[in-house]
Chain A
Amino acid sequence: MNRAVITDNLGYLLAGAWPDGPVGGLMLTLILSVESGLASAMLGLVLGIALAMSHGRTRRALTLGLGLFRAVPIVMLIFWSYFLLPILFGVSVPETGTVVTALSLVGGAYLAYAVAAGIESIGRGQWEAGLALGFGRWQVLRYLILPRALLAMAPSFVNQWTALIKDTALAYVVGVPELSFVATQVNNRAMVYPAEIFLFVGAVYGCLCLLVDRLAALLARQRRRPRAGRA
């Protein structure tokens, strides 16, 4: 095992060419995951509510559309947004933008199902009670259903986020200099220690995913504690 290949390139692996050039490496991976994480959470919430509140033909169309996004490999979606976005908007979109778009769409499509399931898991009685009190359908959703459904969905959002962190590695295919891409650059330059480089990079991703996981578990426990006290 050769540690020098890691320590010599540590700055490049962590931040890319920054501060002399654009941000890259682990820092860009973090930026990509936060951006696509927030966008996919928002998209998933909107689409999930739409799925839960719609009926008949609208619902079938929505299910089909979401299913399509889940059936296509993310690599394909990245290529699509890479070639489509500039044509649709008539401006050049930076590569990171196309990756965030593709990841948000996939993440949003997966989350929409979790959100819809969370909303539908709240019993009919709650809806009927709200409607009987004179609330409208959307008011019941806003004040009675969502506050509790969101709590039930929280684990899905965390799981989706760790999946997104791993999926940012696919930005490699359009040459975005995130962690995996700079790792291959370092590998191409050093040539002799590929195992060390990719083990290190894998460990960094692993720590990141475990950190998010632990953090979420901690938050969940903290939220549950006062509730248990009240019971």
Chain B
Amino acid sequence: MSLFGDLLAPRYLIWLLQGFGVTLALSAAVCVAGTGLGLALCCLRETGGRLAGAGIAGFVGLVRNTPLLVQLFFWYFGAAALMPAWLTAWLNSPHSLPLGPAALTWPAYETLAGFLGLTLYAAAYIAEECRAGLNGVRPAQREAGLALGLTDLQVYRHIALPQALRIAWLPVVGQYLNAIKNTSLTMTIGLAELSYAAREVETETFLAFQAFGIATLLYVGAVAAVEAAGHAVARRDPAGTARR
């Protein structure tokens, strides 16, 4: 009990909750963008030409075989140096888009770099899961579609893809869980998400167990909730093929 004897002051709890909010928002954005990009990559790899296929395979291999941390450093430090100076300056300066009473403000540079790095990483993995799903659809299904007079694209759109997505659903949910956990790496480029907040609270209060304990519980809660939701969706699937 002595380890947890001292409670965190409300101020620090608010820090942690704010960090959790950033983690959730970033995770959601990464999952949505990563799914879109991943699906696009998967479809383009299947239906595009040989050049597009090789390019996408190279990109996916590169992203999956290097540490996410190094990728984030590349997007944070490296990309800024490669971009023309005016673009870097524009990205770094505050902008806001007035929307009626509220205003949409431009995110800080580390948020952009973190979002980009995490999205590309998630997309590469999701593209692979979708490809595995497509490979899991029996060839006879495509042949049957072609025999019925559907075009290649129609077979793909109406027969192969829906089944592939059903097969790939739970693995993709696994990638969503990874995306939530991976947001913790953005603390290294100064994005004030949950791990960053926990580290801040720890350095200010020296209450390591409280800070990391609460952060860990929040992560576990978020991961468990998304996993449960993913399985619930799979169970409600009328065809039932997602249950594996």
Contacts and interface: CB of A to CB of B under 8 A. Distances in A.
A71 B65 contact: no
B182 interface: yes
Interface stretch (A133-141, A161-169, A218-226): A161-169
A170 B69 contact: yes
A210 interface: yes
A194 B81 contact: yes
A41 interface: no
A68 B212 CA distance: 15
Interface stretch (A11-19, A20-28, A45-53, A74-82): A74-82
Given A72-B220, A73-B184, A75-B185, A202 B212 contact: no
B80 A194 contact: yes
For chain B, the bracket of interface size reads 35 or more
Most chain B beta-carbon neighbours within 10 Å: one of A168, A196, A206: A206
Contacts of B79: 195
Contact of A79 (B62, B74, B198): B198
A127 interface: no
Nearest to B83: A195
B223 interface: yes
Contacts of B215: 76
| Chief secondary structure at chain A's binding surface | helix
Contact of B67 (A180, A187, A196): A180
Interface residues of A, number: 37
A192 interface: yes
Contacts of B66: 166, 202-203, 205-206, 209
A183 B70 contact: yes
Most chain A beta-carbon neighbours within 10 Å: one of B181, B187, B209: B181
A174 to B, nearest CB: 11
Contacts of B140: none
B94 interface: no
A184 interface: yes
B185 A79 contact: no
A39 B71 CA distance: 27
Interface string B198-239: 110010000011001001100110011000000000000000
B220 A68 contact: yes
